[in-house]
Structure 1
Amino acid sequence: MTETICLLDLTSPERADRLRALLPPGFVLTHGTARGDEHMKQIIAEADYAISGQVAVSGEVLRAAKKLKLLHKWGVGYDNIDIATAKELGIRVARTTGSNAIPVAEFALGLMLSALRYIGYGHAELKKGHWSTGHLPGDTFMLSGKTVGIVGFGAIGQNVARLLKGFGCTILYTKRQPLSAAEEAVLGVQYASMSEILAQADIVSLHCPLTPETTDLIDTKAFAAMKKTAVLINVARGGVVNESDLVVALRNREIAGAAMDVYSVEPLPADSELLTLDNLVVTPHLAAMAADNFAPTVSRMFANIAHVSRGEPIPAKDLVV
């Protein structure tokens, strides 16, 4: 019997074909062709399994599914999935833990360099015909030798630390459960409190999940505690940063700059004040996307779906509920 996997995200026919090339036997793939809950409710209705990438999956969408066995997150963060409703309906939820750690870590490093050196600003100005070497919005700084504070130190944060070792950075980190002294020595990092990171770091890089505790973690008070020469990097979740407070801090040069790949509302509205700032680098949630990471991650998702189809358990590291 053929079972249906539905990708809830809007995707192109070409990308859907790449997914179908990796399908296990006995499965067919459908996918989103428009944005919004109403469309997702239509396409999830007859699906046996669903995959969500960047789209939020509400309880209303889940209730529209008539026979869904598993919702699989294409990535790690599941804060935009209604887990309580999934539990209520008996729908299992899984994710690809650690699958995007290296791509996101590399992207974070790229954002650091871009924010410190006004790469994004220089690119945009030159494409408008402006040679802006002498007219940058502020001073540029090297990454080498800087103090970097990593907020959230799971697989992504640890890979950021590994990449930064080559730049001779002092690396501070904070997480709920600090590493052992031996683990810190291997990674070349030091545990610090959030207040110590804000006060000491030249770059504050966010890699924590969005939870009630981390919502608006970086706000007016946090910006006031940071160095005026510091830059903020967010590849975690948009809600970790109070975006209104960020706009004020950047306009008033309370910090030197920032770079963001995630936002409280996605897609980012065209009239967002974030798009008016010359000391902010913005990218459209690209950090986890890497063509050479596509097949391994998709194959892992499909393997988990096949486990459920055969009545087998999903590996514990990938199972959410």
Structure 2
Amino acid sequence: MKPHVVVYKKLPEHLLQRLEAECEVTLFDRITQDNRADFLAALKTAHGMIGASLPITNEMLEGAPQLKIASTISVGVDNFDLDYFRRRGLMLAHTPGVLTEATADTIFALILSTARRVVELAEYVKAGRWKGSIGEAQFGVNVHGKTLGLIGMGRIGSAVARRAHHGFGMPILYHNRRPDPEAERELGARYVSQDELLAQADFVCVMLPLNADTERLIGAREFALMKRSAIFINASRGRIVDEAALIAALQDKTLYGAGLDVFEVEPLPAESPLLQLPNVVALPHIGSATHETRLAMAELAVSNLLAGLRGEPVPHLAV
């Protein structure tokens, strides 16, 4: 008898066919209020589940007594209670590695577009306001040679550091759970305390997973430590930052600007003050959103799921 798999995010047709060759598949392109009851009913007989962008609660999983593995099409696993998975002996697979370069590209796009005011000035041109040579009111700031501070030096942090060092001649400061000798040797990165990083960096990039230790790690105290000329970048998780404190720092010009791909609430509400601030570049959580990367993530997630269902070693287990 084939194992039953619940899919809760649209998959490319060839990957769906790959699943259907080995599994009975119940497919939901996405979960809404209209199909949530059907989704929960399908979980009752599921041996595996695969998808993304949906908080999977313990209550949902309690209704899935036959479940063996959940495979998320993401590197982040903050939509799951990892302690629950450990207690119950469930496997949770994720997709690290394949999104590293695309996400690092997005982070550097935020650095450049915020420093050089690309979005703001593109709108200035489109609005027909460009009447002659621009003046100081439209100037940005240099990126080349400025100090980059990375809070977190995992795969994505290292990829950003490579771009900064080799492409832009940027001195690199980093704070991590432990020093990274390779980054220090190859990129000239310097390990410092978080407070020292905040005080010295011209660009502060948060590169951390969301968990109990990192939630609201960056707040009013941390923004007060930063240079008034500094730019804050976050493409990790919104809840790592106290968003109200960030807004206050930007409004008071304690910070020069911010480039953000993630927010406390997503999609970002239309009434958010962040949307009214000219010194903010806000993106719709596009860190890994390229055709090539999203396909690679889905392929890896399917491989993870099928390995777990076959009883084979799972390539990338978070739990």
User: What TM-score do you get using the length of structure 1 for normalisation?
Assistant: 0.88
Check conservation: 1:151, 1:205, Cα contact below 8 A.
yes
Aligned equivalent of 1:25: 21
Structure number with the bigger relative contact order (C-alpha 8 A, sep ≥ 6) is 2
Aligned equivalent of 1:319: 317
Instruction: Return 5+ residue gaps in structure 2 as ranges.
Output: none
Aligned equivalent of 1:153: 153
Check conservation: 2:8, 2:31, Cα contact below 8 A.
no
Distance in 1 between residues matched to 2:188 and 2:145, nearest whole Å: 14
Given residue 22 of structure 2, which amino acid in structure 1 is its aligned partner? G
Given residue 300 of structure 2, which amino acid in structure 1 is its aligned partner? R
What is the number of equivalent residue pairs in this alignment?
314
1:264-320 CA-to-partner distances (Å, cap 9, x unmatched) read: 1222222222222111111111101221123332222222212122212223xx212
Given residue 235 of structure 2, which amino acid in structure 1 is its aligned partner? V
State the 1:7 CA deviation: 3.3
Aligned equivalent of 1:38: 36
Distance in 1 between residues matched to 2:179 and 2:29, nearest whole Å: 41
Paired residue secondary structure (1:161): helix
Aligned equivalent of 1:206: 206
Distance in 1 between residues matched to 2:96 and 2:30, nearest whole Å: 27
Give the 3 Å change call, closer, same or farther, for CA 157–230 of structure 1 in structure 2: same
Distance in 2 between residues matched to 1:124 and 1:110, nearest whole Å: 17
RMSD: 2.5
Distance in 2 between residues matched to 1:45 and 1:135, nearest whole Å: 64
Paired residue secondary structure (1:25): helix
Give the 3 Å change call, closer, same or farther, for CA 127–24 of structure 1 in structure 2: farther
Deviation larger for 289-298 or 104-113: 289-298
Q: Does 2:169 match 1:171?
A: no
Give the 3 Å change call, closer, same or farther, for CA 294–196 of structure 1 in structure 2: same
Distance in 1 between residues matched to 2:124 and 2:186, nearest whole Å: 42
State the 1:250 CA deviation: 0.6
Instruction: Return 5+ residue gaps in structure 1 as ranges.
Output: none
Distance in 1 between residues matched to 2:252 and 2:137, nearest whole Å: 12
Distance in 1 between residues matched to 2:95 and 2:221, nearest whole Å: 35
Check conservation: 2:121, 2:138, Cα contact below 8 A.
no
Aligned equivalent of 2:270: 270
Check conservation: 1:223, 1:254, Cα contact below 8 A.
yes
Deviation larger for 196-205 or 132-141: 132-141
1:173-205 CA-to-partner distances (Å, cap 9, x unmatched) read: 11011022x541113311111111111111001
Give the 3 Å change call, closer, same or farther, for CA 246–24 of structure 1 in structure 2: same
Distance in 2 between residues matched to 1:205 and 1:254, nearest whole Å: 17
Distance in 2 between residues matched to 1:69 and 1:3, nearest whole Å: 10
Given residue 47 of structure 2, which amino acid in structure 1 is its aligned partner? D
State the 1:136 CA deviation: 8.4
Give the 3 Å change call, closer, same or farther, for CA 289–270 of structure 1 in structure 2: same
Please list, as runs of the form range in 1=range in 2, the aligned pairs for 1:105-254 lying within 5 A after superposition.
Answer: 105-131=104-130, 134=134, 139-165=139-165, 166-180=167-181, 183-254=183-254
1:79-124 CA-to-partner distances (Å, cap 9, x unmatched) read: 2212233334432111112221111111100000011011121233
Aligned equivalent of 1:61: 60
Paired residue secondary structure (1:205): strand
Given residue 103 of structure 1, which amino acid in structure 2 is its aligned partner? A
